[in-house]
Chain A
Amino acid sequence: MFARGLKRKSAEDGEDVEGGLAGAQAMPSYSLQRQSLLDMSLVKLQLCHMLVEPNLCRSVLIANTVRQIQEEMAQDGTWRVVAPQAAGRAPLDRLVSTDILCRSVREQEGERPAPDAGDGHTPDLVPGLATVPSAQALRNPQSSLWEVDSSRENRGGFQKSLDQIFETLENKTSGSVEELFADVDSSYYDLDAVLTGMVGSTQSGHGSGLQAFSPATAAPPSSSCRSDLGELDHAVEILVET
């Protein structure tokens, strides 16, 4: 189980920033917790990339969780993580217990990092300022992953296992959730194309190649068959191993 039993400490505004900082390193804030959940989720997705037969339901649920976190981070404007050195002027929030992520929104409302914490900006301005970079971040999560990665070196208090995970993440070429997902599924997709493509194969020039490969029982000629030549070509390429 996760480290448990970290005690809560109420916010001490303006008082003893250094103490607050030292305290923050010992007790992760909501955004750090959320970040580690995101990292854990990405690792889980990677792991099922390596598994023999990934459980699709599990992958979908994890991917949806990742999307949720990304969306929330975009709303917060925290998708680009600020290095804690700069946080000297922006106090690292309130110190919360480890299980904050499990708590309901109502409980969390008072504790989540407000977009304008320590900046002096009005709430209206900051989201506006944040949207452009965060939108870019959403479109290119890969680069933001790397960014997050580099800023992580500055943080303390992460478990060793997470460090190993980041190395793996860096080595992987796929970045966005969608890409990860498409990778995992490509073989399914192709097989599906082959099976459904069986129906339309006799007309195309690839017919003989596929028929030679035909499975023991023919694919059901159902009305939901969605084959098109593009998929068929791709499938044939794989079969022929070009």
Chain B
Amino acid sequence: MKRGSHPGCRPALGCCQGPRRDQLQLLHSPRGSVVRWRGQSCDSQQDALLAGIGVLTQDTLWCFSQVKGTIEIGATEADIISTVEFNHTGELLATGDKGGRVVIFQREQESKNQVHRRGEYNVYSTFQSHEPEFDYLKSLEIEEKINKIRWLPQQNAAYFLLSTNDKTVKLWKVSERDKRPEGYNLKDEEGRLRDPATITTLRVPVLRPMDLMVEATPRRVFANAHTYHINSISVNSDYETYMSADDLRINLWNFEITNQSFNIVDIKPANMEELTEVITAAEFHPHHCNSFVYSSSKGTIRLCDMRASALCDRHSKFFEEPEDPSNRSFFSEIISSISDVKFSHSGRYIMTRDYLTVKVWDLNMENRPIETYQVHDYLRSKLCSLYENDCIFDKFECVWNGSDSVIMTGSYNNFFRMFDRNTKRDVTLEASRENSKPRAILKPRKVCVGGKRRKDEISVDSLDFSKKILHTAWHPSENIIAVAATNNLYIFQDKVN
């Protein structure tokens, strides 16, 4: 390899000409060699290095795609995103916020002109799902914050989703209207009734095209079935039923019936003073319509079979990892509380998130998880402070990618983490406006625990605990992720060559 100068040469690195000059360049630097894609639209040397390293290590490189939402000034608490969910095809992306609104984004069709630009998500529909209510019996306000959104699989032209606040679940139908009937007999064009005396002929109304209108209508309201706050909803694989879970009970609903639900789990003690454990999350098995899991504040997961009995107070399987006695502290129980539980797409595994870790469990092994990933273990020595400022009670969610090979969860300082289950490699990325140049590659972040802080690292004490990423979503089949950072929604995609 000859060192020389030619177009695209970076003298500081000292590049060479490699065998495939038109595509790859092998760069030599004091720190080693990297491969660079020639002709890529990188802005900086750093991008080049990242791209090169990515190719060598076969890591996925994540790029910024879009951000939705306002910048700090003018952001109200109502705009804080409280849930994010792709639909089953990934064509639609829904968010719910604290103000009770649902915003649905639709991916635009990829055009032949812009091959390198993957379909962007644009606003498709916005509607007010829940309003604040007042419970007169308890003299308490019922928040309109949307806790969860779950899509139903598409069965016709319309889209259906479930959205829930603390007390009420609603089924919404989102449909397009691009035609309207014209030529009524009894009404004129503005809808006013015509004078019958003027009607002399009979005609059939015809459908004429109009501007596309997307309308959302509430088709069902499932109310008054939960005394406590709903934390989860899950659509069953039979597509006829779904469940809603609150702190102490889980109810099974039929989509068609709103005035009745079946109570399938009830952990409320006869004497509330004996209450020591609550339900934190629940989900149906993706394929077996009789199975579901629910997690608890004591770090346990129960798998239940609805065929066993009407009230599934007895579990089929009980997943709990024995406590490490050497790690015990006053905060052990709090940090073991599971904030989210998700089945893998295959249905063979479940993933749980507690305060410091993400765990993957095999359904066939109840006594311990098969994988444990540390999300932000550097917080272990700060638990006292995090208890004081209530951050220890933050409920982080976790998600699988489409092939169940990578899992993702959020952290503080707008960091989010991905763990590759096969390569055992993990990465920390940040959702911030600074990284918001189109197709800019996200640089891995690192938190410095102690000792000397390197240039790009951030020390634990500098982390911003008000910037927490609780909600993320992964496209069902592609490497597209949606990350909710307070009132902003970031969309990242993997690098397209």
Contacts and interface: CB of A to CB of B under 8 A. Distances in A.
Contacts, number: 143
Given A2-B385, A220-B262, A222-B262, A56 B326 contact: no
B380 A102 contact: yes
Interface in B62-112: none
A22 to B, nearest CB: 24
Given A60-B277, A105-B325, A53 B142 contact: yes
A199 to B, nearest CB: 12
B328 A104 contact: yes
Given A53-B140, A60-B297, A195-B227, A102 B278 contact: no
Nearest to B325: A105
B266 A56 contact: no
B331 interface: yes
B199 interface: no
B329 interface: yes
Given A57-B297, A217-B225, 8 more contacts: A1-B461, A40-B387, A60-B275, A101-B331, A102-B380, A102-B381, A106-B326, A215-B224
Nearest to B380: A102
Contacts of A215: 224
Nearest to B297: A57
B247 interface: yes
A172 interface: no
Nearest first, the 6 A-B pairs at minimum CB distance are: A222-B263, A1-B385, A217-B259, A178-B273, A187-B138, A56-B247
Contacts of A216: 223-224
Contacts of A60: 275-278, 297
Contacts of A2: 384-385, 388
A1 B329 contact: no
Contacts of A170: none
B327 interface: yes
Contacts of B276: 60, 63-64
A57 B225 CA distance: 19
A53 B388 contact: no
B140, B251, B262, B387 pick with most chain A CB within 10 angstroms: B387
A66 to B, nearest CB: 10
Contacts of A99: 381-382, 384
Interface of B: 137-143, 166, 223-225, 227-229, 247-248, 251, 258-263, 266, 268, 270, 272-273, 275-278, 280, 297, 310-311, 325-331, 333-334, 337, 380-385, 387-390, 393, 461
Interface residues of A, number: 50
A182 B333 contact: no
A226 interface: yes
A220 B263 contact: yes
A96 interface: no
B393 A226 contact: no
13 contacts: A1-B389, A2-B385, A34-B330, A40-B388, A56-B278, A101-B330, A104-B328, A178-B273, A182-B272, A185-B272, A191-B227, A217-B260, A223-B311
Q: Which interface residue of A194, A220, A223 has the most chain B CB atoms within 10 A? A: A220
B13 to A, nearest CB: 42
Contacts of B224: 195, 215-217, 219
B183 to A, nearest CB: 41
A242 interface: no
A139 to B, nearest CB: 14
Contact of B334 (A34, A65, A103): A65
A226 B273 contact: no
A37 B384 contact: yes
A158 to B, nearest CB: 14
A69 interface: yes
A201 to B, nearest CB: 16
A226 B37 CA distance: 69
Contact of B328 (A4, A44, A105, A226): A105
A58 interface: yes
A102 B272 contact: no
Nearest to B271: A182
B333 A187 contact: no
A99 B223 CA distance: 46
A220 B333 contact: no
A171 interface: no
A44 B229 CA distance: 19
A89 to B, nearest CB: 29
Contacts of B326: 104-106
Given A64-B333, A104-B329, A188-B228, A181 B141 contact: no
Contacts of A101: 329-331, 383-384
Contacts of A217: 223-225, 258-260
Contacts of B280: 57
Contact of A68 (B247, B311, B333, B461): B333
Interface in A191-242: 191-192, 194-195, 215-220, 222-224, 226
Interface in A33-67: 34, 37, 40, 44, 52-53, 55-58, 60-61, 63-65
Nearest to B274: A178
B266 to A, nearest CB: 4
B376 to A, nearest CB: 14
A57 B384 CA distance: 18
Contacts of A181: 272-273, 275
A194 B273 CA distance: 19
Contacts of B380: 102
Given A2-B388, A216-B223, A223-B311, A37 B330 contact: yes
Contact of B384 (A63, A69, A102, A188): A102
